[in-house]
Chains A and B, each alone.
Chain A
């Protein structure tokens, strides 16, 4: 279900926003405002808070659930993130004063509450000739 379980060649669906390494490493790209230090996801051309320049940075890949839901509709990928017919989704506040972002959560309808610790993973979406296309998702952080 996560990176370790899919083909060795993992293709990010949005390569400007995240990258997956061959051994399960996840990199989330963002921007930091040069003048005020505010972090943004996805990467920006200019800072939405100042209009000034930004620097491309790698964001934390762990965070905390700010809110969540469970959607009772099929996830349009080859692998069900819940193991069932629906999927969980959440807004995640990334660590290190990182931005909030939306993502699919690996697990079922009772697996998450506000405050649950999570880490970023690759969720297989579809198979391409070059490898497995994956989207950015989150799963419960293990101790």
Chain B
């Protein structure tokens, strides 16, 4: 699956994840208008709109975005579990790549808190037995510790890194006033062995948006291309021994490997070329496993990256520079677009205190229920 013609990120926008309670509609319009302002276009220039939400009612989004203007364009709502933001970006990019439109926009949003949604609560009446997502990811961690000798401290170091990256992100849900230590992460409330509450993503409300366009579309609007979408991949599970067919998180991390290497092929690069990386790090063990799945380290050697500082902002492979799920937050729908926001800011050199040195290639990975996986590679041009 390759892009048919070049596609560029023209603008990105976010509302802060979490923070003081506010109507979700305010978050949606803040993110959308910010992206339009960033792209220096008006909503009248947008030719198709993809909405992304996991848990909002079916017509909620189309109602809210009426305030952007009743321009008559196609509006489609996308939902693909936690990968929804990645999915809505993928659809917008491919609407342009396929030649249907020159300018597409996506806005994704969710507010689990206001809806009383708690992904960590067991639902025993569910046919699968009600084991919560955090239990599944924690079981990944226990198996990892068994197979490769990973310690809880490795997970705590990953989480502390992401908490501290979030301190420099004004849109992050977690904004600690003081640096977060490994000891604080280890000493936090136990959630599900071996994860503590500081090793898991918070789930306040949020919204994020992106505008993408073709070279012709940007030229017509007088815009200069800055960030190119070099690859966009959508994958789902393949069967392997031990495959789960029932539960909150059923898929194997191997899907990340496949989606990453397909994206490398599409972009004509390899993992060694990546300059800034965004993962689905809802729980700390995920980030560790994905280091290896996308080729930053050999199998079983991801722990070394953590202890050597390779994935810190100043390291060779900066990961979760905006705080990732653990620091920035994970409302659901908008999370994948928050990744695109961070990569775009980094590649344009506008990430402020979070800025990594002269990045060219950005990589985003996100999964939905362990069953679907999206990867995107962005390039500074």
Measured CB to CB, the residues of A under 8 A from B are 13-14, 16-17, 38, 40-42, 44, 48-49, 66-77, 87, 89-91, 93, 99-104, 109, 114, 125, 135-137
Contacts and interface: CB of A to CB of B under 8 A. Distances in A.
Contact of B128 (A67, A102, A109): A102
Contacts of B135: 69, 71, 89
Given A13-B124, A72-B192, A73-B121, A67 B146 contact: yes
B129 interface: yes
Interface stretch (B74-82, B102-110, B237-245, B298-306): B237-245
Interface in B107-166: 120-125, 127-132, 134-136, 138-143, 146
A91 B239 contact: no
12 contacts: A38-B239, A41-B246, A68-B142, A69-B141, A71-B132, A72-B192, A73-B122, A74-B122, A76-B123, A77-B124, A102-B136, A104-B130
Nearest to B141: A69
B307 interface: no
B4 interface: no
A100 B132 CA distance: 17
B244 A66 contact: no
A67 B120 contact: no
Interface residues of B, number: 34
Nearest to B241: A100
A114 B146 contact: yes
Contacts of B270: none
A69 B142 contact: yes
A102 to B, nearest CB: 5
Contacts of A68: 139, 142
Nearest to A91: B139
A87 B128 CA distance: 16
B351 interface: no
Interface SS, B side: loop
B315 interface: no
Contacts of B136: 102
A76 B239 contact: no
Contacts of A87: 122
Given A69-B138, A71-B135, A89-B139, A102 B247 contact: yes
B193 A70 contact: yes
A48 B244 CA distance: 11
Given A69-B193, A135-B130, A102 B246 contact: yes
Contacts of B297: none
A101 B123 contact: no
B244 A135 contact: no
A95 B191 CA distance: 31
A72 to B, nearest CB: 5
A90 B245 contact: no
B193 A109 contact: yes
Nearest to A49: B239
Contacts of A44: 245
Given A73-B191, A74-B122, 5 more contacts: A76-B124, A91-B242, A102-B136, A125-B125, A136-B129
Given A66-B242, A72-B190, A100-B243, A90 B139 contact: yes
Interface string B189-213: 1111100000000000000000000
Given A42-B246, A66-B242, A76 B130 contact: yes
Given A72-B190, A76-B123, A135-B129, A99 B142 contact: no
